[in-house]
Each structure stands twice: as structure tokens, then as C-alpha cells.
Amino acid sequence: MNAKPPAKDKASANAAFAEAERSVKGERSANAGLSSKQASARKGRKVQSGKLIRPSSAGHGGSVASGSQTRRLRRTDPGRRDRIIDSCLDVIAQVGVAGASHRVVARAADVPLGSMTYHFNGMDELLREAFTRFANSVADRFERRMAQAEDLGSARKAVVAIITEDIFSGPREQVITHELYTLAARDPSFRSITTAWMRRSRAALEKFFDPETARMLDALIEGLSIHRALDQQPRDASEVVEAVNRITAAG
């Protein structure tokens, strides 16, 4: 017959059980007492595929740049927008408007693709900016040439120089000009660029010629420049001199 355990041993067992229960309750209470910030931080640290994943918003040490950091990065490349516009013109000269896309221009400008949509609301805006810059650069050169003239004779020589030297200084300008003409012919919204270009040219010519003669000279400059650029046979400058003298004979 088995003997009952001594009362002393039973009391010890009960005390140990009570102590363990108090320990469990204490741990639960400690966990419940964590601040919301500590609980969020603890929850954010997860283990995935054996690697410790920390919250992406963990201050400056995280992988996502803060707003101030992004602004600082942008300020280190202040010429990015201008570079994109110039690169767009280079792309147009190489592959035409049809081949110009956000991706192609971004690659030519050596900028992230996201910079395209950051600086421009679509390709239409970029094309307008690029063609406007090109047209203004040619018009600036036109005005400088005419500003050097002092009288009717030197004004005629300036017009000849514009046709033979300035308008198409190389294949790049020739292609870009024709791409603009084609785009403006197809999309009337781009004609504001060509209209402004022609207005500046005629204003420069009207300093020496009446408005009607200036319009005819402007058309002559465009037409002869295109003919000379596309003709496979070199053309003598004397025919340009003769054409300008005939149109301006009554000027």
C-alpha cells in the first residue's frame, strides 16, 4: 500500500506552481505595457528568408530618400531640363520626330526616365520646347546678321550671307528645320512656332525694306536655302545675289 506524500512536500509543490503562474502573468503585463512606438518597431522588424527586414521609413538610414534629400539631389543637376531639351534636338536630327520618345531622349541626355515626366507633361511639351529653342537660335543669328548692315547695299549682302552661310549651317539644322515644317504642316498647334519665327525674320528685314518686300525676301530665303541644301550639284552664290537684287530693286 502506497504511502501519502508528506504535507511538507505538497506545500512546496503548491508554492512552486504559484510562483510560475505569477511569472507568466508578469510577462504578459510587461508586454501589454509596451508603448505603441515600441510595439510598432517590434512589429516592423520581421524575418523573411533568413534576412532582417527593417521598416522603410527608418529615418535617414533607410533606402528611401527623404524629401530634403531628393531636393538636394535635384539641385546638384540644375541643368538637367536644358540638357533634355538639347538632347531632344539631337535625337530629332538623328531619327526624326517619329523616333523621338521619352526613353530614347532620356538615354541621350543620360538622365533617369522619371526625369522626363518630372520636367515635361508628355512628348508634345518637350517637342514644343525643343523646336522653340531651335527656332529662336536661328532667328537670333538672323537678327545679328541684319543688325550688322548699315545701308541698303550692306542689307542685301546680309540677306545673301543668310542664305549661303547661316540658315543651314550643316545637315543637323537642315533636318531639324524640315522636321519642324513637317510637324507644323500636320499639327496646326505647332504653327505658332513657325509663325513667331517668320515674324522675327520679317521684322529684321523691315529695318531696310518695306513690309511687302520683306515678305518676299523671307520666302526667298526659305526657298533658296532648301534648294541649295537638297541640290546634289553645288550652286554658285551669284544666283542668290541676282535673286536678292531683283526682289529688292524697288525696295
Buried b (16+ CB within 10 A) or exposed e, 15-26: eeeeeeeeeeee
Task: State the pLDDT at residue 237.
Answer: 87
> Are 242 and 153 within one domain?
yes
State the cell numbers at 82: 536644358
Coil, strand, or helix at residue 172? helix
Residue that terminates a domain, selected from 124, 153, 185: 124
pLDDT in tens, 165-203: 887 768 899 999 999 999 999 999 999 999 999 999 999
**Backbone torsion region of residue 168, taken as left when φ is above 0, otherwise alpha when ψ lies between -120 and 50, otherwise beta:** beta
Q: Which residue has the cell 498647334?
A: 189
> Are 105 and 144 within one domain?
no
> Are 114 and 140 within one domain?
no
Task: State the pLDDT at residue 170.
Answer: 80
Task: State the pLDDT at residue 16.
Answer: 54
User: Structural domain of residue 243, as residue ranges?
Assistant: 135-247
Low-confidence ranges of the chain (pLDDT < 50): 1-3, 5, 7-8, 24, 30-74, 251
State the cell numbers at 215: 515678305
With respect to residue 29, please indicate whether it lies within any of the assigned structural domains.
Answer: no
Task: State the pLDDT at residue 1.
Answer: 45
CA distance 245 to 251: 9
Q: Residue 102: which CATH number?
A: 1.10.10.60
Which ranges constitute the DSSP H helices of 45-122? 67-75, 80-95, 102-109, 114-119
> Are 107 and 139 within one domain?
no
The pTM assigned to this predicted structure is: 0.68
With respect to residue 82, please indicate whether it lies within any of the assigned structural domains.
Answer: yes
Percent helix, percent strand, percent coil in the chain, to nearest 5: 75, 0, 25
Task: State the pLDDT at residue 60.
Answer: 35
- Structural domain total, the chain: 2
Contacts of 13 by beta carbon, 8 Å cutoff, 6+ apart? none
Task: State the pLDDT at residue 9.
Answer: 52
State the cell numbers at 201: 525674320
With respect to residue 174, please indicate whether it lies within any of the assigned structural domains.
Answer: yes
> Are 115 and 176 within one domain?
no
> Are 85 and 140 within one domain?
no
Do residues 235 and 224 lie in contact, with contact meaning Cβ atoms separated by under 8 Å? no
Task: State the pLDDT at residue 11.
Answer: 54
With respect to residue 151, please indicate whether it lies within any of the assigned structural domains.
Answer: yes
What 8-state DSSP symbol labels residue 221?
A: H
Which ranges constitute the DSSP H helices of 6-78? 7-32, 36-44, 67-75
Task: State the pLDDT at residue 20.
Answer: 53
